[in-house]
Amino acid sequence: MSLFVRLQRLVKSAVPDLRMDIMHTIAHRALIARGAEAWTSRLAGHVVQRYAMPGTGSGPPVLLLHGLNASVGTMAPLVPFLARVSKRVAVFDLPAHGRSQAPDGPPLSLIEYGEIAREAAEELAHETGDQIVLVGNSLGGALALYVAQKIPERIAGLVGLNPAGAPATEPAVAKLPKEFASEAEGADKMARLLFNKAPLAYWLIGRDVARGWSTPPVQKLLDDARAGTLAAQVSPMLAGVKARTLILWGAEDSMLPYASADEFRRLIANVQVEIVPDAGHVLQLELPLWTGKRVARFVREL
């Protein structure tokens, strides 16, 4: 038995109950320590926590978009790789995620989140005077596709890491979590949905991850996915994506099976799809070194 497996079993046996706020604070401080500027501002009418840092490369600026029930911390592993090839790297927490405020009123829809991402992309392109690259995981991948077809003239390239939005099979829809018998069970089920091999750090916050999946902002989008609304919104967008696109998909993704990649391969004109073995839904956390290098190479080659 490997040391990793033994450590994982040791941590999992206790299933600690640290709050995700701790990880948000760690990511916040780590980004600032790397030279990032941190500020809050309104995007599409919503107050969000934002970060941006200068890069040392000559490639186009990059905007990172995190997934559902996630935060900038889940995209932070990509920052050092991209800062070496890009002029500027920006990232922000969606409303009701990370350090951003929850919206007034009902939970937001995909399109409402998309407009927030579009404004962030427009700002980054305007500030730098360049076309930009969008990199999004899961929900963030769907938002990247939304932005790319809304403002194609501003987008140099797009990377989708297991992007949401393709029509889901009934077995896949049935796996989308609604509630758990216990938080410990929820932590275990979410680990199996999100990862092929969950990082050890996940088990420190696994209970809070499970709690997050039962909140109204998360369940709103999951309900839309169950009803087919999400796919009905995303699929028509794909033909409008003109930028060079790279889709990376973990072969062991239990939440969005890699067969979903066929929809993106079929409808996006300039797309390359790569299936990544031994990886799940959150490539940048499970395989940070490989994913960082692959995404940086894509940006460098544009």
> Looking at the domain assignment, is residue 15 inside a domain?
no
First-to-final CA distance of the chain: 43
> Looking at the domain assignment, is residue 196 inside a domain?
no
Predicted local distance difference test score (pLDDT) of residue 110? 97
Average confidence score pLDDT of the chain: 92
Predicted local distance difference test score (pLDDT) of residue 155? 98
> Looking at the domain assignment, is residue 4 inside a domain?
no
Tens digits of residue pLDDT in 133-162 = 999 999 999 999 999 999 999 999 999 999
The residue type at 167 = P
> Are 204 and 231 within 8 A, CB to CB?
no
| DSSP states along the chain | --HHHHHHHHHHHH-----HHHHHHHHHHHHHHTT-EEEEEEETTEEEEEEEEE-SSSBPPEEEE--TT--GGGTGGGHHHHHTTBSEEEEEPPTTSTTSPPPSSSPPPHHHHHHHHHHHHHHHHHHHTS-EEEEEETHHHHHHHHHHHHSGGGEEEEEEES-S-SPPPHHHHHHS----SSHHHHHHHHHHHH-SS--TTHHHHHHHHHHHHTSHHHHHHHHHHHHTHHHHHHHHHHTT--SEEEEEEETT-SSS-GGGHHHHHHH-SSEEEEEETT--S-HHHHSHHHHHHHHHHHHHH-
Predicted local distance difference test score (pLDDT) of residue 284? 98
Predicted local distance difference test score (pLDDT) of residue 13? 54
Tens digits of residue pLDDT in 193-227 = 999 999 988 988 998 999 998 899 999 999 998 88
236 compared with 4, residue with greater pLDDT: 236
> Looking at the domain assignment, is residue 9 inside a domain?
no
> Looking at the domain assignment, is residue 206 inside a domain?
no
262 sits in the region (left: phi over 0; alpha: psi -120 to 50; else beta) called alpha
Q: Is the pLDDT of residue 2 over 80?
A: no
Say which CATH number the domain at 254 has: 3.40.50.1820
pTM of the model: 0.94
Predicted local distance difference test score (pLDDT) of residue 79? 98
Predicted local distance difference test score (pLDDT) of residue 290? 98
Instruction: Give me the domain span that covers residue 271.
Output: 37-173+219-301
> Looking at the domain assignment, is residue 242 inside a domain?
yes
How many distinct structural domains can be found in the chain? 1
179 compared with 110, residue with greater pLDDT: 110
Percent of the chain's residues with pLDDT above 90: 77
> Looking at the domain assignment, is residue 163 inside a domain?
yes
207 compared with 95, residue with greater pLDDT: 95
> Looking at the domain assignment, is residue 256 inside a domain?
yes
Predicted local distance difference test score (pLDDT) of residue 10? 47
Q: Cα–chain-centroid distance for residue 264?
A: 17
Tens digits of residue pLDDT in 251-280 = 999 988 888 899 999 999 999 999 999 999
Given pLDDT bands bounded at 50, 70 and 90, which one contains residue 16?
low
Tens digits of residue pLDDT in 157-196 = 999 999 998 887 777 778 777 788 888 889 999 999 999 9
Own/partner pairs, 149-155, CB within 8 angstroms, 24+ separation: 149/237, 149/238, 149/239, 149/240, 149/241, 149/242, 150/114, 150/118, 151/118, 151/121, 151/122, 151/125, 152/240, 152/241, 152/242, 152/243, 154/121, 154/122, 154/125, 155/121, 155/131, 155/242, 155/243
Predicted local distance difference test score (pLDDT) of residue 179? 80
